[in-house]
Amino acid sequence: MQIPEISLYVAIINQALKDALGLSGDPHYNFQTKAQAQAWFNRDNEDLITICDIMDIEPLSLIRLYKKFQVKKKLYSERFIISRTY
């Protein structure tokens, strides 16, 4: 059984990841949105800590996941640019 609140928190984390990584499909997305989302993945962010506590997730593991996605996205982007130059 899925608790509605958990679905909401998963959606919040998912959107924050998309926004922070520049993958948002929102037509109103801008650099300020990205900066706010990136700042959200901070171990001192009380909203992040609260959501992680409710979902029984270690905040630092979520932050590490975000940073891992950042690196993967950067590597993918660099490879894509290099492959397009040929």
pTM for the full model? 0.78
Q: Which residue has the higher pLDDT, 25 or 11?
A: 11
d(Cα 56, Cα 53) in Å, to the nearest integer? Answer: 5
**Residue whose structure tokens are 């029984």:** 56
* Tens of pLDDT, residues 22-73: 888 788 888 899 999 999 999 999 999 999 998 999 999 999 999 999 998 8
Angle at 54 between CA 25 and CA 61, to 5 degrees: 65
Other beta carbons within 10 Å of 51? 22
pLDDT of residue 1: 45
